[in-house]
Structure 1
């Protein structure tokens, strides 16, 4: 990674990254998947490979805040069912990053964003009122958990974009709002922390990137606090529509860049 690039961003570019950091915090405590917009902003302002390394510590900061907020609502049987498949996906994503150049990573991120937007649209159109999560989770097949887990591990390693994948899985398993947020909080904290050694080994996280993270982390906190306040007040249907639209725009922009 050309870390010097991180120090040649303009004031407007830093403002865009700061806004993306606010969205990271908001997505962790309110609307999971909103950080796909953050992903598009980071990949547009920074080199594509570098953007994944800068974004990861910010995601971890948001995960910590989400765990503190919703720690009592996690469903651990679901987490243990997912982790082995996620590990396979993370290793596959690491191997892809070893092979892929910056242009390929940028195109991959754009394609992943568009795919995730399509998945989210499909989920919204086919969603039904979810039953009790305790009953439905046990009926969710192992093959389904494995397929979502591998895809989630790969997308989170390559593009920090597993949010929509896991959202779809947890919603299909029947989780309601608090159980959804608590389970996803622990899932992403554990998975994102496990990605740090891989990202360091690939040169995606280093001293200069962490200094930029230190400045941007200040914006994650207000986003998380606002998300905690808004989670029971927000018109989530409208917000999801805005997130999907912004994700599509970001994905197309990366593909055409």
Structure 2
């Protein structure tokens, strides 16, 4: 049975929910991708959660790239990817000395920062002139690091990309390709750190059909769902999980 690969039926149930929500996000319903590791970290080590999710994310990326490859802005990727690779390297170098408590705290703070920025951030009213190479390096590095430790690179990347005022298709296509490349790169350090062992890969394999189905469902739903209802619910969920993880991280330090 599937739950034999997990520590308990609760772990299996939470993983199913997390993969489903991340898949919807990968399909175009942005915001919920941040719920993956935080949600799973409520019932298992956040490092284990990230390791289980990575192969699933790679499969989702294949589906997403197939849908959005025509709208990739490669000029932006050339600017942000070097920093992102550096951030992944930093995450790899510090992985052995970063405790579960610290990872929970980082994931929780990233989640809350994302929600607070959405709730209280100043709307972008004019496009930024030029693509800001220094800003691209900084936010790319932060996106790479948070992506490595918790697959939570979206908020830093969005801080850089939103002021560019790209066409929605260009924004989505570029974001999809950014994470397809960085997630593929992350397979190397995750394997080197032992995160892609037989047990975690078996857990991930069980979720692949759900990952593919939920990604396609997200692409279908994004054209039909009322964003005014859906996104506030998503942000509330991210905030609730973020608060819980920050509390757990502080208590465990």
TM-score normalized with structure 1 length: 0.88
SS at match of 1:54: helix
Residue of 109, 112, 118 corresponding to 1:111:
109
Q: Is 2:197 the counterpart of 1:206?
A: yes
**Cα deviation code 1:132-160 (max 9, x no counterpart):** xxxx6x61211221121011011101111
| Alpha carbons of structure 1 residues 62 and 111: separation in structure 2 relative to 1, 3 Å | same
Work out whether residues 23 and 220 of structure 1, in 8 Å CA contact, stay in contact via their aligned partners in 2: no
SS at match of 1:126: coil
Work out whether residues 110 and 254 of structure 1, in 8 Å CA contact, stay in contact via their aligned partners in 2: yes
Q: Is 2:123 the counterpart of 1:126?
A: yes
**Cα deviation code 1:82-112 (max 9, x no counterpart):** 1111111111122221211222222222222
Q: Is 2:150 the counterpart of 1:162?
A: no
Residue of 9, 24, 27 corresponding to 1:26:
24
Q: Is 2:132 the counterpart of 1:141?
A: yes
How far does residue 10 in structure 1 lie from its aligned partner after superposition? Answer: 2.5
How far does residue 173 in structure 1 lie from its aligned partner after superposition? Answer: 1.3
How far does residue 122 in structure 1 lie from its aligned partner after superposition? Answer: 4.0
Gaps of 5+ in 1: 1-5
Gaps of 5+ in 2: 249-253
Following superposition, which runs of at least 4 residues in structure 1 exceed 4 angstroms of deviation? Answer: none
Q: State the alpha-carbon separation in 1 of the partners of residues 246 and 166 from structure 2.
A: 34
Pairing 1:1-257 to 2, within 5 Å after superposition? 7-123=5-121, 125-128=122-125, 139-257=130-248
Work out whether residues 155 and 161 of structure 1, in 8 Å CA contact, stay in contact via their aligned partners in 2: yes
How far does residue 190 in structure 1 lie from its aligned partner after superposition? Answer: 0.5
More deviation, 176-185/67-76: 176-185
Work out whether residues 152 and 166 of structure 1, in 8 Å CA contact, stay in contact via their aligned partners in 2: yes
CA-atom RMSD in angstroms: 2.0
How far does residue 8 in structure 1 lie from its aligned partner after superposition? Answer: 4.4
| Alpha carbons of structure 1 residues 219 and 146: separation in structure 2 relative to 1, 3 Å | same
| Alpha carbons of structure 1 residues 213 and 144: separation in structure 2 relative to 1, 3 Å | same
TM-score normalized with structure 2 length: 0.89
SS at match of 1:90: helix
How far does residue 235 in structure 1 lie from its aligned partner after superposition? Answer: 2.4
Q: State the alpha-carbon separation in 2 of the partners of residues 34 and 68 from structure 1.
A: 21
How far does residue 239 in structure 1 lie from its aligned partner after superposition? Answer: 2.6
Work out whether residues 6 and 12 of structure 2, in 8 Å CA contact, stay in contact via their aligned partners in 1: no
Q: State the alpha-carbon separation in 2 of the partners of residues 170 and 223 from structure 1.
A: 26
